Amino acid sequence: MNRREFLARAGGAGAFSVLVKVDGFAAVPEPPPMPWDIIAPVQPGPERFAGEPHMVLVDLTCDVLVAGGGMAGVCAAVAAARHGATVVLVQDRSRLGGNASSEVKMHIVGANNHGGRPGWREGGLIEEFRLDDAVNNPHRSIEYWDLLLYDKVRRESNITLILDTTVFAAETRDGLITRVLARCDKTEHLYRVSARQFIDCTGDSRLGLEAGAEMRVGREAKTEFAESLAYDAADAQTQGSSILFTARDYGRPVPFRPPPWARKVTREMLKFRGVSSWEYGY
């Protein structure tokens, strides 16, 4: 195994553990092998991308290209694969889940969030994933949630997963995307992916931006699209922000000296966001 192949296989596997069968527990079906010969060919072709002579160019073809491996991207990829489509899922991190991964630790709620909605519950794939997590992750380890999402994707034989890879350009014709370009600098691969359908789940609309799609910033007025729950007047407000942390009551004062570079958060900054509960240690 040469250096490039080793890096490609290590990057594709990510920082995840290996699951084995333990006596007394039922074995689960083995996931399909990673298509290393496709995403990291041992004998790459001579063609190189203009301006990138040291990157191996890999051409892929699929029914659906999903850019972004957060919860939206994972659900889109799994749903498409289970309906028979061949899928290439490109994620720019070493793990799946996006804000819901161990890197950010934002818990998933959905339709049953904020109370006041008795009987409401998120269904579909989110329900499947959360039930699986409830059964197999009693300690609520966020790292195990990363592994669960990786496992769900890897068990779909129709999905080719490429981690640590960023979509950075799109080729269009007559207003439609025909091919996207993605790069993995860790393994020195450039991917050109042709697909019948492209789904932007990047969170920052990177694919849409590169494709020249119409874009807007802010919240629309209710009159624009006849949305009764929208605001009366449009504004430039974008997503809010959350500070997520875990707290523990030790029954005594615990000294803390903030570093000089820490941003000072004042009560004035939090006037629209009170602490409503201590769930999840918040």
Does residue 241 form part of some domain? no
Does residue 105 form part of some domain? yes
Does residue 134 form part of some domain? yes
Percent of the chain with pLDDT over 90: 55
Judged by DSSP in three states, 90 sits in strand
Task: Determine the structural domain holding residue 13 and report its residue range.
Answer: 3-19+34-40+50-211
Does residue 266 form part of some domain? no
**Starting at the edge strand that comes first in sequence, how are the strands of the sheet with 176-184 ordered?**
159-162, 87-90, 56-67, 189-200, 176-184, 166-173
pLDDT digits (tens, 9 = 90+) for 168-203: 999 999 999 999 999 999 999 999 999 999 999 999
Number of Cβ within 10 Å of residue 224's Cβ equals 11
Checking if the pLDDT of 21 tops 90, the result is no
Which CATH number covers residue 96?
3.50.50.60
Torsional sign, CA 261, 267, 272, 275: positive
CB half-sphere exposure, 202, CA atoms < 13 A: 18
Number of Cβ within 10 Å of residue 136's Cβ equals 11
Rounded to whole angstroms, the Cα distance separating 118 from 163 reads 39
Tell me the average pLDDT across 69-75: 97
Does residue 82 form part of some domain? yes
The closest alpha carbon to 129, from 148, 142, 107, 146, belongs to 148
Does residue 261 form part of some domain? no
The closest alpha carbon to 195, from 56, 60, 2, belongs to 60
Checking if the pLDDT of 260 tops 90, the result is yes
Q: Angle 161-241-269 (CA atoms, 0-180°, nearest 5)?
A: 165
What's the predicted TM-score (pTM) here? 0.77
Rounded to whole angstroms, the Cα distance separating 210 from 196 reads 17
Tell me the average pLDDT across 200-225: 93
For the chain, the domain total comes to 1
Does residue 136 form part of some domain? yes
DSSP state of 22: -
Does residue 205 form part of some domain? yes
The closest alpha carbon to 70, from 49, 54, 90, 85, belongs to 90
Higher-pLDDT residue of 141 and 49 is: 141
Percent of the chain with pLDDT over 70: 80
Buried b (16+ CB within 10 A) or exposed e, 94-113: bbbbbebbeeeebeeeeeee
Checking if the pLDDT of 252 tops 50, the result is yes
> According to the model, what pLDDT value does residue 42 have?
73
Rounded to whole angstroms, the Cα distance separating 13 from 94 reads 8
